[in-house]
Structure 1
């Protein structure tokens, strides 16, 4: 066999081994649940990947149809119409969401409260509309999770105040990303990322590397305040920049309500305990979502103390002075507070 022929054989063999795998990343983005839902997954079959992505998007649409307070025929809207009259039978899924919501209300002494909708429904951010002092004062008593009489065994919910209303905006998207990841896990997907607005969950890693999740700078959307490497985790971010407007007093009016006041949680500049962004890292979006809201309302001191008590959870917070702080488990990260 000639030397040239041997060389050709070796080159051919090398080219066969170097042939790239048919597996690749597949990506899709759709507007669902009032936000951008994105799915990125690794799969060797393009048509199968497309089917899985559609299953995920269909799951988000199903949950939106069931849990949206803006759709008259949703189960949640039915509850808001009828629960002040008497107990309303809940589906098993909604019962789980109500149960978890009330658990977090008790854990945070009311900082997390799905009855914020009692006053929240009077805020229309795209129209710069908010509840005035008279409306706030008249409805504040009705904004209290203790008015939500949930019978876990019978799976019914009754409102103890005729003005009370609920909204699952602080927990539903985290729950939805978990359901999406379950679909991908059951299909044998090794590596994926699913996000819905400020809530995301990673399935596995990014083909041997961690997913690098950027935490947006709350006052400059073109920058990240931090980048966190994650694998097999969920992360939820709550910030006063997500849905807001500046009112005629030059104050920021945003969508994260303090149940104690019935108003958006105060983010007055200069108070180092006030927060403008909270990111919570943990195993499931079903927990990181309500925790990010809770810590935002509690403030830096109480909020970080809460996370430090909860095994498996970490926090990255930014106060109203734009300074970055981490929970104890992330102490090895050095915040850059020069900006």
Structure 2
């Protein structure tokens, strides 16, 4: 059943929904604080912390130096000491500077301590291209983080999901990587598509990890995706409907844990699968989904296609960036191919 939840009261951008969840959790517990580059006075370059400084001050909304290894390490230490830090890594691309702290400490320290302590930390980071910021600021890298055990990986595509997933992430006793797509945030200088701005209840609520959302029901082909490409897939589905093709669109929402049951149920119904991702094709999310379906529902699968970035650095040039990142028409073409 489709899981589109709307509120009749108001609509929020994804950035405002995230900030609302963070503010609520900070009011509920003094253990929650935020640290990162340009997150205090500036409010986050993608508005991920806009307005929090006014309410909570510099002691709980902390700007840090350009020293990712240092401040992510400080977040790990704070989490192990009983705090619940939200640490922003400005771009997911910067993981290379601080991967030791992320993977060898944040993700592993509960295991390495034999469960003596937990690391209830949210690593919040911006992902995605489509705004011409070149190879070092435009990657998604969902698969990189999902590949590494010890961390939960969250990828919201709407304001409603962003708020519920953020509440759940902050309350979780395990480390969570919260990956938000820049293009979906609803900031003035980077217009979002229509879909991410949704009805959002004022009261707190959580969305469980590991539950995908069927954003559009269909009978002919299953399109599995996440992040920005949920909205591109929905646009493609409307185009395909004019051709008599009824596409079902599944938003994974989380990669760790991964809701394979929803994907398999859909494929068993449609018999055709298209997986779309803004991450790299090799060793990525598209391959994982296709392999899972092949293992558990091969007899039901008649055709499959996957769309992802080729294994090249993301270009600065707008025409070249548009060429490598799957668009609406690319998705529609892939669906037509599996339809035969």
Decide which structure has the larger Cα Rg and report it: 1
Greater RCO (Cα-Cα under 8 Å, separation 6 or more)? 2
Write 1 or 2 for the structure with the bigger share of strand. 1
